[in-house]
Amino acid sequence: MKFERKDILEIDFITNRDYDLFFDTINAEISSITNIKKSFLKKLIICSIELIQNNIIYNNKAVSRLELYSIADFFILDYIQTTNKLKFQNLANKIDNINKMDFDNIDLKIKENIEKPKFKSGSGNGLLTCRLKTKNQLYLELLDAKNENKYKFILRLKLDYYEKSNPGTSKNTFS
């Protein structure tokens, strides 16, 4: 049986103003989705904040797009952006490492990053938090690599509406 993709929302972030107002935009758009538990919508908003702020902090507010859609009982958050080859490879390695961790270790790592931060800006906890909130793997898909400075990719989060935990393996492709 094939489940159809049902589009829920798409938001583009292009200008500085889009990024300045990003929270108001996603909060208003996601909160207005009907027939979904408020606690679940909140997880979608928390994950969106972390995805977008990772782009703001580490990727110079590159033009990006947030898409939310559902397939059967899953809600999928796709965050599409472009970066350079080095940053993409670093992100891929980071995601691989996070996907290999179990939830107890993620919890410990988050606390360690708060207590003994290693970064000048940010906490290093954004993607760890996304994995914890989604109870799922993080997925990275390269869409296009025109040259070393134009790696277009999707960072994909998959949330089970019924919150069945799926720690899975370290595969970072999505099907």
Residues in touch with other proteins (CB under 8 A): 20-21, 23-24, 37-39, 42-43, 45-46, 49-50, 53, 56-57, 110-111, 113-115, 117, 121-123, 125-126, 128-129, 133
Strand 138-145 vs strand 74-83: parallel, antiparallel, or unpaired?
A: unpaired
Q: State which residue, 10 or 107, has the beta carbon closest to other proteins.
A: 107
Pick 19 or 74: Cβ nearer other proteins: 19
Start-end of H helices in 66-172? 85-100, 103-115, 126-134
By beta-carbon proximity to other proteins, the closer residue of 129 and 172 is 129
Query: Minimum distance between the CB of residue 99 and other proteins, rounded to whole angstroms?
Result: 18
Put the strands of the sheet holding 5-13 in their side by side order.
5-13, 64-71, 74-83, 151-160, 138-145
Residue 175 vs residues 55, 71, 75, 130: alpha-carbon distances, Å: 24, 11, 14, 19
| Least Cβ distance, residue 112 to other proteins (angstroms) | 10
Q: Name the one residue in this structure whose structure tokens are 């708060």.
A: 114
Closest CB to other proteins among 126 and 141?
A: 126
Find the shortest distance in angstroms from Cβ 134 to other proteins.
12
**What minimum distance in Å lies between the beta carbon of 34 and other proteins?**
16
Contact (Cβ atoms closer than 8 angstroms) between residue 136 and residue 45: no
